[in-house]
Amino acid sequence: MEIKRKIIINMECLASNLNEQEKLISSKNILFIQDIDGVCIPLVKDPMTRELESKYIYAVKELAEEFFVLTCGEHEGPRGVNRIIERSLRSTTEPKNKELYLRGLAACGVEYQDSNGEISFEGVSEKELSFLSKVPSLIRPKFNYIVKNIFPELSQEDINFHAVKSICETRFSPTINFNSLFDLVHEDSDKRKLIQISFEKMMNEIILKAESEGLKNSFFLHISPNLGNKNGRETIKLSAKDDIGSTDIQLLIKGAVKDSGVLFLLNKFIADKTGKAPFGRNFNFRNSPNSVLEKIDLCKRTIQKEDMPLIVGVGDTVTSKKNDEKSYSRGGSDRSFLELIQILGNEFGIKNKIIFVDSSSGEVERPSTKKTGLIGISDVDDNLKFDIVFKNGPKEYISWFIELANERSNFKKK
């Protein structure tokens, strides 16, 4: 009976996904805003081993101006998504010549790229860039000290090995990743918590260092996944037996949040369509209002209803943790941008679509919709509602997306 019930549920889910797909194919004006890791790339412990299906890259090309990425990773650099695209297509020239790079925002809203791979990053000062470039060298001695403390049996050679995997030297978002160290502790969630707490303290020390150099309001810590924002600081999700919790901490430029990224991309989309940028041609993450209410108000004041597209928001990092009978802690690096898209749809009378891709089938342990439904992801009182849930992860989403992109391309040619 249980197997039969699962088959029925899966068939109902498939029918629902196909129905939503048909609506999007025939929509007059749509815009995809999509995360990358865990959505079109399975989550892996070592970011340098990430892979992207080449058919997906060409499907993005089919959607053209109707598609943007919005990621906390980066486009450029050795760890950038551009290198994954070049490896997937086995060429360093074809992506540029055929305009196959993923168009959109990286570093949570700082690094914009077009499909030619041309990069821009308005709103960032030279002083901030200079400090960010020094962060990996500030992390290394602290990393050495923390790891020796937690793992006294490790040789210096082993510590160096884990440092290479854990310290991400990215241009706009230097990051400490815990996955390599988590491999050393296996199922010991207490040891994982110690790693998380120790490195959060270390990253806060780097912010204090920035402040001492005259950069008081320049940076913040983005923790992924997190349990929301309290007093301007993201709450780390400590490891539990059935949930690995936070896996990395990024030092980001203040204001670089994904919901502000939605405004930047929407402004660009409408400017390309109509010739007029509703928020102004020079709008960037530093010009964005802070609160969701202010963001909504800006859109309502400056965007004509006929110019507002049906927005499809796609993410995988959404969290919900029950504190007691009356309250939840809700977060995740994709939550804010998905919530903004949902509210915009309501305010403009457009049925924007929110898609959740279950990334628990990758190498990083997360709550699974297959095993426990939406527990750990969402809850009955959560304002954020998913229109489509891809329980089988990136592979299922990519298959659906490729079909949609091809059909959408054919529809626009009619």
Give residue-wise pLDDT tens across range 279-298.
999 999 999 999 999 999 99
Q: Rounded to a whole number, what is the distance in angstroms from the first to the last CA of the chain?
A: 46
Give residue-wise pLDDT tens across range 180-198.
999 999 889 999 999 999 9
Q: Hey, what domains does the chain have and what are their CATH numbers?
A: 2-70+257-413 (3.40.50), 126-171+174-253 (no CATH)
Backbone angles phi, psi at 322, to 5 degrees: -75, 125
pLDDT above 90 as % of the chain: 88
Structure tokens, 224: 């992924």
Of the candidates 168, 77, 119, the one whose C-alpha atom is nearest the C-alpha of residue 86 is 77
Cα distances (Å, whole numbers) of residue 373 to 95, 360, 368: 39, 12, 7
**Confidence check: pLDDT of 8 > 50:** no
Answer with the residue of higher pLDDT: 14 or 66. Answer: 66
Structure tokens, 194: 């110690």
3-state secondary structure of 255: coil
CB atoms within 10 A of CB 64: 14
Rounded mean pLDDT, 75-98: 96
Give residue-wise pLDDT tens across range 123-169.
999 999 999 999 999 999 999 999 999 999 999 999 999 999 999 99
Range from 187-191, 239-243, 348-352 carrying the lowest mean pLDDT: 239-243
Q: What is the pLDDT of residue 94?
A: 97
Q: What is the pLDDT of residue 14?
A: 57
Q: What is the pLDDT of residue 241?
A: 86
**Confidence check: pLDDT of 323 > 60:** yes
Question: Residue 71: enclosing H or E segment and its boundaries?
Answer: none
pLDDT band at 5 (very low <50, low <70, confident <90, very high): very low
- pTM here? 0.93
Q: 359, 396 in Cβ contact below 8 A? A: no
